[in-house]
Amino acid sequence: MHVVVNAAASADGKLSSRRREQIAISGAEDFARVDRLRADSDAVVVGVGTVLADDPHLTVKDETLRAKRRKNDRPENPARVVVDSSGRTPTDAAVLDDAATTYLCLSEAASVDRRAALADRAALITAGDERVDLLPAFAALQEQGLERIMVEGGGELIFSLFEAGLVDELRVFVGPKLIGGRDAPTLADGDGFVAEFPSLELAEVDRLDGGVLLTWRVAD
Ligand code: NAP
């Protein structure tokens, strides 16, 4: 399995404002790059915080890219995965439409009622008691044949994935905006590291959309 975390951050490292609304940090060039990365992936993963804040669809937007996937005998969109301990994903969320297979990674905390409400719209995976235990959850995704994984945020999930040692690559577009705010989500939130900080190796630097795309490999 190869896990790429992709995000757009402001110049000061924020993923959105303190209101947690989606903000256009990048532009058309980066949008197209993200679409290509999705089209190259077997699954796109987000935390339930992102579903509740942005209601993303997580599908491939470019018809040419979808046609290429079909030609290669792949579903036209990658699978969608939401990490969602108690099943808070609304049943009318865009990720639960029929454009692609959706997996909900739940924990034992998800009630029987929530499971029943979600089970006919998504495949349910259970890992962990209170919060989703990411290592077994990702192992279960791999068992479904999902090898190339793209993570699209948010900051809570990204931190946990680094903590679990699951990230191979970090691609962050740093855009020409300053958002600020101590409560605004950053690229990696959670509790933060106080020791044994993950080390990154800079693999590529590209200028686009008035900002810079940084590609980091996670050092072993
Ligand atoms: P998030 O990372 O999308 O989701 C976090 C939630 O996932 C947690 O609160 C938790 O909710 C659930 N979860 C379950 N197991 C977990 C685990 N092991 N580790 C971490 N989380 C786990 O939410 P967020 O950090 O609040 O990010 C949302 C914000 O980021 C929004 O403002 C959105 O606009 C922004 N965003 C920006 C970008 C960008 O590229 N700029 C991309 C995505 C999102 P439960 O306890 O209920 O399970």
User: pLDDT of 29-54, one tens digit each?
Assistant: 999 999 999 999 999 999 999 999 99
| Closest residue CA from atom 36 of ligand 1 | 154
108 lines ligand 1 (CB under 6 A): no
134 lines ligand 1 (CB under 6 A): yes
Share of the chain above pLDDT 70, in %: 100
Q: How far apart are CA 7 and CA 5, in angstroms?
A: 7
* Domains of the chain, residue spans: 2-218
pTM for this predicted structure = 0.98
Q: Which of 25, 34, 50 to mutate to test the pocket of ligand 1 (most atoms within 8 A of CB)?
A: 50
49 CA to centre of ligand 1 in angstroms = 4
Find out whether 132 and 103 touch, Cβ atoms under 8 Å: no
CATH fit for domain 2-218, picks 3.40.430.10, 2.40.30.10, 3.40.50.620, 3.40.50.300: 3.40.430.10
- Tell me, rounded to whole angstroms, the distance of Cα 194 from its chain centroid: 24
82 CA to centre of ligand 1 in angstroms = 10
pLDDT classification of 220: cutoffs 50, 70, 90: confident
| Closest residue CA from atom 45 of ligand 1 | 85
Instruction: For residue range 177-205, list pLDDT tens digits in order.
Output: 999 999 999 999 999 999 999 999 999 99
**pLDDT for 42:** 98
- Tell me, rounded to whole angstroms, the distance of Cα 211 from its chain centroid: 21
